[in-house]
Protein backbone atom coordinates (compact mmCIF):
# COMPACT_ATOMS: atom_id res chain seq x y z
CA UNK A 1 0.00 0.00 0.00
CA UNK A 2 1.30 3.42 -0.77
CA UNK A 3 2.29 5.33 2.32
CA UNK A 4 0.16 8.28 1.24
CA UNK A 5 -3.03 6.17 1.25
CA UNK A 6 -2.09 4.62 4.60
CA UNK A 7 -1.49 7.99 6.27
CA UNK A 8 -4.55 9.65 4.75
CA UNK A 9 -6.77 6.75 5.84
CA UNK A 10 -5.30 6.73 9.34
CA UNK A 11 -5.90 10.48 9.65
CA UNK A 12 -9.48 10.07 8.40
CA UNK A 13 -10.12 7.32 10.96
CA UNK A 14 -8.71 9.46 13.77
CA UNK A 15 -10.89 12.40 12.62
CA UNK A 16 -13.95 10.17 12.59
CA UNK A 17 -13.28 8.93 16.11
CA UNK A 18 -12.93 12.55 17.17
CA UNK A 19 -16.20 13.51 15.48
CA UNK A 20 -17.95 10.60 17.23
CA UNK A 21 -16.29 11.55 20.54
CA UNK A 22 -15.29 7.96 21.26
CA UNK A 23 -11.68 8.56 22.24
CA UNK A 24 -9.15 5.88 21.36
CA UNK A 25 -10.54 2.93 23.31
CA UNK A 26 -11.87 -0.26 21.69
CA UNK A 27 -15.34 -0.09 20.14
CA UNK A 28 -17.55 -2.67 21.83
CA UNK A 29 -20.27 -2.82 19.16
CA UNK A 30 -19.16 -1.40 15.85
CA UNK A 31 -22.42 -2.34 14.15
CA UNK A 32 -24.49 -0.38 16.66
CA UNK A 33 -22.10 2.54 16.35
CA UNK A 34 -22.43 2.84 12.58
CA UNK A 35 -26.19 2.22 12.71
CA UNK A 36 -26.42 5.11 15.15
CA UNK A 37 -24.87 7.20 12.40
CA UNK A 38 -27.79 6.31 10.12
CA UNK A 39 -26.06 3.55 8.16
CA UNK A 40 -28.35 0.58 7.47
CA UNK A 41 -26.52 -2.68 8.09
CA UNK A 42 -27.77 -5.82 6.42
CA UNK A 43 -25.91 -8.99 7.36
CA UNK A 44 -26.30 -12.36 5.75
CA UNK A 45 -24.14 -15.41 5.05
CA UNK A 46 -22.54 -15.50 1.62
CA UNK A 47 -20.59 -18.75 1.24
CA UNK A 48 -17.36 -18.94 -0.68
CA UNK A 49 -15.30 -16.34 1.11
CA UNK A 50 -14.70 -14.15 -1.95
CA UNK A 51 -17.05 -11.37 -0.87
CA UNK A 52 -16.58 -9.59 2.46
CA UNK A 53 -19.24 -6.95 1.98
CA UNK A 54 -20.79 -4.24 -0.19
CA UNK A 55 -21.67 -0.59 0.11
CA UNK A 56 -24.63 0.98 -1.66
CA UNK A 57 -26.05 4.48 -1.61
CA UNK A 58 -29.78 4.16 -2.24
CA UNK A 59 -31.90 7.32 -2.40
CA UNK A 60 -29.42 9.05 -0.13
CA UNK A 61 -29.26 6.27 2.45
CA UNK A 62 -26.07 4.33 3.09
CA UNK A 63 -26.54 0.57 3.09
CA UNK A 64 -23.86 -1.90 3.92
CA UNK A 65 -23.94 -5.63 3.46
CA UNK A 66 -21.80 -7.80 5.74
CA UNK A 67 -20.98 -11.41 4.99
CA UNK A 68 -21.62 -13.36 8.20
CA UNK A 69 -20.00 -16.51 6.81
CA UNK A 70 -16.77 -15.12 8.26
CA UNK A 71 -15.47 -14.85 11.80
CA UNK A 72 -16.89 -12.18 14.09
CA UNK A 73 -13.58 -10.29 13.99
CA UNK A 74 -13.65 -10.20 10.21
CA UNK A 75 -17.29 -9.07 10.20
CA UNK A 76 -16.38 -6.18 12.48
CA UNK A 77 -13.54 -5.24 10.14
CA UNK A 78 -15.95 -5.39 7.17
CA UNK A 79 -18.40 -3.08 8.94
CA UNK A 80 -15.64 -0.53 9.62
CA UNK A 81 -14.41 -0.90 6.03
CA UNK A 82 -17.88 -0.36 4.56
CA UNK A 83 -18.47 2.52 6.96
CA UNK A 84 -15.42 4.17 5.41
CA UNK A 85 -17.04 3.87 1.97
CA UNK A 86 -20.18 5.50 3.38
CA UNK A 87 -18.06 8.45 4.50
CA UNK A 88 -15.66 8.99 1.60
CA UNK A 89 -16.93 7.09 -1.48
CA UNK A 90 -20.51 8.25 -1.77
CA UNK A 91 -20.04 9.31 -5.40
CA UNK A 92 -19.39 5.67 -6.33
CA UNK A 93 -22.90 4.65 -5.17
CA UNK A 94 -22.20 0.91 -5.26
CA UNK A 95 -19.04 -0.92 -4.25
CA UNK A 96 -18.49 -4.66 -4.08
CA UNK A 97 -15.63 -5.48 -1.70
CA UNK A 98 -13.63 -8.54 -2.66
CA UNK A 99 -9.98 -9.53 -2.41
CA UNK A 100 -9.16 -7.23 -5.36
CA UNK A 101 -7.71 -4.02 -3.93
CA UNK A 102 -7.89 -0.87 -6.06
CA UNK A 103 -6.84 2.32 -4.19
CA UNK A 104 -10.29 3.05 -2.67
CA UNK A 105 -10.33 -0.51 -1.23
CA UNK A 106 -6.85 -0.12 0.24
CA UNK A 107 -7.96 3.16 1.74
CA UNK A 108 -11.04 1.54 3.33
CA UNK A 109 -8.90 -1.31 4.73
CA UNK A 110 -6.41 1.12 6.23
CA UNK A 111 -9.28 3.19 7.63
CA UNK A 112 -10.87 0.10 9.22
CA UNK A 113 -7.58 -0.97 10.81
CA UNK A 114 -6.93 2.49 12.24
CA UNK A 115 -10.56 2.97 13.31
CA UNK A 116 -10.73 -0.35 15.20
CA UNK A 117 -7.12 -0.31 16.45
CA UNK A 118 -6.04 3.26 17.23
CA UNK A 119 -2.29 3.82 17.62
CA UNK A 120 -2.46 5.31 21.13
CA UNK A 121 -4.51 2.57 22.79
CA UNK A 122 -2.67 -0.14 20.86
CA UNK A 123 0.75 1.14 21.96
CA UNK A 124 -0.55 1.43 25.54
CA UNK A 125 -1.82 -2.14 25.41
CA UNK A 126 1.65 -3.46 24.55
CA UNK A 127 3.60 -0.95 26.63
CA UNK A 128 5.00 -3.61 28.95
CA UNK A 129 6.19 -5.73 26.01
CA UNK A 130 8.02 -3.11 23.99
CA UNK A 131 11.43 -4.48 24.96
CA UNK A 132 10.74 -8.18 25.25
CA UNK A 133 8.54 -8.43 22.15
CA UNK A 134 4.84 -9.20 21.67
CA UNK A 135 3.92 -12.63 23.03
CA UNK A 136 1.29 -14.89 21.53
CA UNK A 137 -0.87 -14.72 24.65
CA UNK A 138 -0.83 -10.94 24.70
CA UNK A 139 -1.68 -10.84 21.01
CA UNK A 140 -4.76 -12.99 21.68
CA UNK A 141 -5.70 -10.68 24.57
CA UNK A 142 -5.44 -7.77 22.15
CA UNK A 143 -7.72 -9.47 19.60
CA UNK A 144 -10.35 -10.01 22.30
CA UNK A 145 -10.00 -6.51 23.75
CA UNK A 146 -10.30 -4.81 20.34
CA UNK A 147 -12.60 -7.36 18.69
CA UNK A 148 -10.35 -8.04 15.73
CA UNK A 149 -9.03 -11.09 13.90
CA UNK A 150 -5.56 -12.45 14.57
CA UNK A 151 -4.58 -11.51 11.05
CA UNK A 152 -5.85 -7.92 11.25
CA UNK A 153 -4.03 -7.50 14.57
CA UNK A 154 -0.81 -8.89 13.13
CA UNK A 155 -0.79 -6.49 10.19
CA UNK A 156 -1.77 -3.57 12.36
CA UNK A 157 1.02 -4.22 14.87
CA UNK A 158 3.52 -4.45 12.01
CA UNK A 159 2.33 -1.14 10.57
CA UNK A 160 2.63 0.49 13.98
CA UNK A 161 6.18 -0.82 14.41
CA UNK A 162 5.28 -3.11 17.32
CA UNK A 163 5.98 -6.34 15.44
CA UNK A 164 8.53 -7.19 12.74
CA UNK A 165 7.33 -8.80 9.52
CA UNK A 166 9.32 -11.90 10.37
CA UNK A 167 7.83 -12.23 13.85
CA UNK A 168 4.33 -11.60 12.48
CA UNK A 169 4.70 -14.31 9.85
CA UNK A 170 5.89 -16.70 12.56
CA UNK A 171 2.82 -15.83 14.68
CA UNK A 172 0.56 -16.38 11.67
CA UNK A 173 1.64 -20.02 11.54
CA UNK A 174 -0.18 -20.51 14.87
CA UNK A 175 -3.87 -21.38 15.14
CA UNK A 176 -5.75 -18.45 16.74
CA UNK A 177 -8.47 -20.79 18.01
CA UNK A 178 -5.97 -23.04 19.76
CA UNK A 179 -4.14 -20.05 21.23
CA UNK A 180 -7.39 -18.54 22.50
CA UNK A 181 -8.42 -21.81 24.14
CA UNK A 182 -4.96 -22.15 25.73
CA UNK A 183 -5.26 -18.64 27.10
CA UNK A 184 -8.57 -19.38 28.79
CA UNK A 185 -10.99 -17.89 26.27
CA UNK A 186 -14.28 -19.52 25.32
CA UNK A 187 -13.99 -19.71 21.55
CA UNK A 188 -17.61 -20.86 21.29
CA UNK A 189 -18.78 -17.56 22.74
CA UNK A 190 -20.62 -15.88 19.83
CA UNK A 191 -18.99 -12.58 20.84
CA UNK A 192 -15.48 -14.01 20.41
CA UNK A 193 -13.62 -12.37 17.51
CA UNK A 194 -12.53 -15.84 16.39
CA UNK A 195 -16.06 -17.27 16.58
CA UNK A 196 -17.24 -18.95 13.45
CA UNK A 197 -20.14 -21.22 14.33
CA UNK A 198 -23.27 -22.44 12.64
CA UNK A 199 -25.11 -19.44 14.02
CA UNK A 200 -22.88 -17.13 12.00
CA UNK A 201 -23.90 -18.91 8.82
CA UNK A 202 -27.66 -18.90 9.36
CA UNK A 203 -30.03 -16.24 8.26
CA UNK A 204 -31.49 -14.67 11.39
CA UNK A 205 -33.28 -11.59 12.60
CA UNK A 206 -29.84 -9.98 12.90
CA UNK A 207 -29.95 -9.91 9.11
CA UNK A 208 -31.90 -6.67 9.13
CA UNK A 209 -30.84 -3.17 10.19
CA UNK A 210 -31.76 -2.39 13.79
CA UNK A 211 -33.81 0.62 12.77
CA UNK A 212 -35.89 -1.63 10.49
CA UNK A 213 -36.35 -4.24 13.25
CA UNK A 214 -37.30 -1.61 15.80
CA UNK A 215 -39.83 -0.02 13.41
CA UNK A 216 -41.38 -3.43 12.59
CA UNK A 217 -41.73 -4.33 16.28
CA UNK A 218 -43.16 -0.92 17.09
CA UNK A 219 -45.76 -1.32 14.32
CA UNK A 220 -46.75 -4.67 15.84
CA UNK A 221 -46.90 -3.28 19.38
CA UNK A 222 -49.16 -0.46 18.18
CA UNK A 223 -51.44 -3.01 16.55
CA UNK A 224 -50.66 -1.80 13.04
CA UNK A 225 -49.48 -5.20 11.83
CA UNK A 226 -50.42 -8.73 12.87
CA UNK A 227 -48.12 -11.22 14.56
CA UNK A 228 -47.96 -13.23 11.33
CA UNK A 229 -47.03 -10.11 9.37
CA UNK A 230 -44.33 -9.21 11.90
CA UNK A 231 -42.84 -12.69 11.57
CA UNK A 232 -42.85 -12.25 7.80
CA UNK A 233 -41.21 -8.81 8.06
CA UNK A 234 -38.46 -10.19 10.30
CA UNK A 235 -37.98 -13.37 8.31
CA UNK A 236 -38.62 -15.71 11.28
CA UNK A 237 -41.21 -18.29 12.31
CA UNK A 238 -44.09 -16.89 14.37
CA UNK A 239 -43.08 -19.34 17.15
CA UNK A 240 -39.73 -17.57 17.47
CA UNK A 241 -41.18 -14.08 17.84
CA UNK A 242 -41.38 -13.94 21.64
CA UNK A 243 -37.64 -13.91 22.05
CA UNK A 244 -37.38 -10.98 19.65
CA UNK A 245 -39.90 -8.68 21.23
CA UNK A 246 -37.49 -7.25 23.76
CA UNK A 247 -36.87 -3.62 22.91
CA UNK A 248 -34.23 -3.18 20.21
CA UNK A 249 -31.83 -0.62 21.59
CA UNK A 250 -30.42 1.72 19.00
CA UNK A 251 -29.45 4.56 21.27
CA UNK A 252 -26.86 2.95 23.56
CA UNK A 253 -23.41 4.36 22.98
CA UNK A 254 -21.46 1.24 22.12
CA UNK A 255 -18.07 2.12 23.52
CA UNK A 256 -16.17 -0.10 25.93
CA UNK A 257 -15.16 1.42 29.22
ZN1 LIG B 1 -14.60 -1.93 0.00
Residue 53, strand partner residues: 66, 97
Where does the chain hold its CATH 1.10.10.2910 domain(s)?
Answer: 3-119+197-201
By residue count, the chain amounts to 257
Residue 26 Cα to ligand 1 middle (Å): 22
Give the C-alpha separation, 202 to 200, whole Å. 6
Backbone angles phi, psi at 97, to 5 degrees: -105, 110
Model pLDDT for residues 173-195, shown as the tens digit of each residue: 999 999 999 999 998 888 889 88
**Distance from the CA of 85 to the center of ligand 1, in angstroms?**
7
Tell me how far the alpha carbon of residue 106 lies from the centroid of ligand 1, in angstroms: 8
Q: How far is the CA of 142 from the centre of ligand 1 (A)?
A: 25
- Options 3.30.70.890, 1.10.10.2910, 3.40.640.10, 1.10.569.10; CATH of 3-119+197-201: 1.10.10.2910
CB within 5 A of ion ligand 1: which residues? 97, 105, 108
How far is ligand 1, taken at its centre, from the CA of residue 237, in Å? 34
pLDDT (tens digit, 9 = 90+) per residue, 100-136? Answer: 889 999 999 999 999 999 999 999 999 988 778 888 9
Handedness of CA 48, 116, 150, 153 (dihedral sign): positive
3-state SS track over 195-218: CCCHHHHCCCHHHCCHHHHHHHHH
Strand residues in the chain grouped as ranges (E): 40-44, 53-58, 61-67, 94-97
Q: Digits of tens for pLDDT over the chain (257 positions)? A: 688 999 999 999 999 999 999 999 999 999 999 999 999 999 888 877 788 899 999 999 999 999 988 899 999 999 999 999 999 999 898 999 988 889 999 999 999 999 999 999 999 999 988 778 888 999 999 999 999 999 999 999 999 999 999 999 999 999 999 999 999 999 888 888 988 865 555 556 677 888 888 888 888 888 888 888 888 888 777 777 777 676 555 555 444 44
Distance set, CA 37 to CA 62, 147, 212 (Å): 10, 20, 14
Spatial contact of 42 and 209, defined as CB atoms under 8 Å apart: yes
3-state secondary structure of 171: helix
pTM of the model: 0.85
What is the 252 CA–ligand 1 centroid distance (Å)?
27
Residues 49 and 74: their CA atoms lie apart, in Å, by: 11
Amino acid sequence: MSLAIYHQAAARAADERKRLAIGTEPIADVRALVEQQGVLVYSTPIPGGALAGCFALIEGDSWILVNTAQTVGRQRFTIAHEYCHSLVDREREFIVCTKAKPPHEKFADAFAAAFLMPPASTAAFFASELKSGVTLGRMVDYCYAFGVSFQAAGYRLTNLGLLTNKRRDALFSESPLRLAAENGYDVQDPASPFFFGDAACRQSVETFPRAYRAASIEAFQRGLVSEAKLAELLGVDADDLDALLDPVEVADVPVAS
